Amino acid sequence: MARVKLERVTKRFGTVVAVDNVTLGIEDGELFTFLGPSGCGKTTTLRVIAGFEIPDNGRVYIDNDDVTFKKPYERDCAMVFQNYALWPHMTVFDNVAYGLKVRRKRLKLTDEEIRKRVLEVLELVGLRGLENRYPLQLSGGQQQRVALARALVVQPKVLLLDEPLSNLDAKLRLRMREEIKKLQKQLGITTIYVTHDQEEAMSISDRIAIMNRGKVLQVGKPIDVYNKPTNLFVATFIGRSSALRCKIIEKEPSGYLKVVIGNQVIRASPAPSKTLSPGSSAVAIMKPEDVKLGINDNVIRGIARMSLFLGPHKQLIIYVADQRLTAYIDPEIEIEPNSEVILRIRPDEILVFPEEEWEEVKLEEI
């Protein structure tokens, strides 16, 4: 159980800046997630914390120790690797017991105690009875749990999980994610989790850091990150939001903005602490579930191009002034392709960002 602190950490690989001046603190017992698109530096950040990479700049602290230059085996972090990295020549038991055997002298453990603790952990992850199997004789989900057990058994200060569920099928993924959350709370281990799946991140984390191109863009509780993105990248990345380019007409006394998209005027909210002056170009962000069919005092018209049935709802793709907008609608409703639709959105649910941040998002889409 420990606090982890990164202070201005930078890691480069040649010209690629994999981690760019990252500063953040992770609290004791917290489940903290790094979320971001592929290649944004999540794994590298985790590897810096584990000690597999030494940062070019900055410091890493675990509790109050500066561990920046400590070897991986001196840090007491346990990692669950994306591909599990189970040792194929050892049984499940030996895999899990390994960390304890390495610490046997320091912790003055007897064979009996090691055995007891290994079996306890296997019980915890639901693998009792499989201890004599070899990793190759296990299913993906079982292997994943062995990897988890192997990390948990040493009661590390910090547990590091690098996309631990990405190799599992969808159903198992949901179950394992609940189990990890449950175990983590039960054991109270400070846990750092890496994923590029936002739903997974939202559901499991106490706090999330959104990363892009090596930078941490926003840190916060899932609900805050979801509802109050502080920059355009986060706003578009989270929640499959649509982004429409617009121009600011005026600032109302109520605090809302009047913006024009194509030739339609609509009311929207300014993103917090951004300078948005009348006449400047901007980007309006809206989440698909906030875009509804029908009329009220804040509407926008568009051409429905396509509808995709997703189960609980239907995804409607609309073009507004040649820009794409997505809405989730009642699956019962039939809409003719290429018909005009009227959409209502509450001004609170349209967030306007200055245009400068658009470049970064556009680059990401390429």
Partner 1 sequence: MRSMKINTSFLKYLDPVLAFQLIFPIAMLMVFLIAPLLSVLMVSVEYNPVNVFTDKTFVSPKPRGQLLFIREISFRGEDILLLKLQGISLGAILNSIINASVVTLCATIIGVFVAFILARYNFPGRSALRIIATIPLLLTPFINAFVIKKMFDWRDGLISWFLNDVLHLPIRIGVESLAGVALAQIITFFPIVYLNTHAAMVNIDPSLEEQAENLGAKGFKLFRTVTLPLSLPGIAAGAALVFIFSLEDVAGPIVFNEPRLMSYQIFSMFLEATTGQLSPAAATLALVMLIIALIAFMSIKKYVSLKQYAMLSRGGRWKPRLKKLGKKGLLFIYLVFLPMLLFFAFPQIGVFIYAFAEQWRGALPEGFTFSHMASIVNDPIVFRGLINSLQYSGLALALIILLGVSASYVASRLSHLPGMDILDMLVTMPIALPGLVIAVGYFFFFKDTPLSPIALGPAILLPLAYSVRRLPFTARAVFAGLQQLHMALEEAAMNLGASRLRVLKDVVLPLIGLNILSGALISFVYCMSEVSVSITLGGLKGIGEQHQAPLTFVMKDYITRVGGPHIVAALGVLLISVQIAIIVTINYVLKQRYAYIGV
Ligand X SMILES: Nc1ncnc2c1ncn2[C@@H]1O[C@H](COP(=O)(O)OP(=O)(O)OP(=O)(O)O)[C@@H](O)[C@H]1O
Residues that bind Mg ion (CB under 5 A): 43
Q: Closer to ligand X at the Cβ: 38 or 110?
A: 38
By CB under 6 A, residue 18 contacts ligand X? yes
Instruction: Classify residue 12 as exposed, middle or buried by CB count within 10 Å of its CB (0-12, 13-18, 19+).
Output: middle
Q: Closer to partner 1 at the Cβ: 40 or 50?
A: 50
Establish how many alpha carbons lie within 13 A of residue 236's alpha carbon, considering only the half-sphere containing its beta carbon.
Answer: 23
By CB under 6 A, residue 12 contacts ligand X? no
Stretch that binds partner 1, among 64-72, 178-186, 220-228, 325-333 (CB under 8 A): 64-72
C-alpha span between 311 and 63 (Å, rounded): 46
Q: Closer to partner 1 at the Cβ: 14 or 253?
A: 14
Per-residue tokens: 304: 């429905």
By CB under 6 A, residue 213 contacts ligand X? no
Q: Closer to partner 1 at the Cβ: 14 or 255?
A: 14
State in angstroms the smallest separation of the CB of 175 from Mg ion.
Answer: 23
What's the N-to-C CA distance of the chain in angstroms? 41
**306 CB-near residues (< 8 Å, 6+ apart):** 316, 317, 337
Q: Could you say which of 39, 72, 220, 331 contacts ligand X (CB under 6 A)?
A: 39
Work out what residue 16 binds among Mg ion, ligand X, partner 1, none; the CB cut-off runs from 5 to 8 Å by kind: ligand X
Q: Could you say which of 40, 79, 192, 283 contacts partner 1 (CB under 8 A)?
A: 79
Work out what residue 83 binds among partner 1, Mg ion, ligand X, none; the CB cut-off runs from 5 to 8 Å by kind: partner 1
Per-residue tokens: 79: 């990692």
Q: Could you say which of 23, 25, 28, 71 contacts partner 1 (CB under 8 A)?
A: 71
The number of residues making up the chain comes to 366
Which of the residues 40 through 59 are near ligand X (CB under 6 A)? Answer: 40-44
By CB under 8 A, residue 85 contacts partner 1? yes
- At residue 361's C-alpha, the angle toward residues 359 and 366, to 5°, is 95
Name the pairing type of β-strands 158-162 and 190-195: parallel
By CB under 8 A, residue 77 contacts partner 1? yes
Q: Kindly state the number of chain residues that form the binding site for partner 1, as judged by CB under 8 A.
A: 28
- At residue 176's C-alpha, the angle toward residues 80 and 212, to 5°, is 60
Name the pairing type of β-strands 4-13 and 292-293: unpaired
Per-residue tokens: 288: 């698909």
Instruction: Give the residues across from 62 on adjacent strands.
Output: 4, 65
Work out what residue 301 binds among ligand X, Mg ion, partner 1, none; the CB cut-off runs from 5 to 8 Å by kind: none
Q: Closer to ligand X at the Cβ: 184 or 195?
A: 195
Alpha-helical regions (H) of 129-259: 140-152, 170-187, 198-204, 222-227, 232-237
Work out what residue 110 binds among partner 1, Mg ion, ligand X, none; the CB cut-off runs from 5 to 8 Å by kind: none
By CB under 8 A, residue 87 contacts partner 1? yes
Query: What's phi and psi for 62, nearest 5 deg?
Result: -120, 125
Phi-psi region of 124 (alpha: psi -120 to 50; beta: other; left: phi over 0): alpha
The interface mask with ligand X, positions 191-210, x = CB under 6 A, is -----x--------------
Q: Closer to ligand X at the Cβ: 44 or 241?
A: 44
**355 CB-near residues (< 8 Å, 6+ apart):** 245, 280, 281, 282, 283
Which of the residues 139 through 168 are near partner 1 (CB under 8 A)? Answer: 150-151, 154
CB atoms within 10 A of CB 280: 12
Q: Closer to partner 1 at the Cβ: 134 or 319?
A: 134
Site residues (CB under 8 A) for partner 1? Answer: 50-52, 54, 56, 69, 71-73, 76-79, 81-83, 85-89, 98-99, 102-103, 150-151, 154
Site residues (CB under 6 A) for ligand X? Answer: 13, 16, 18, 36, 38-44, 196
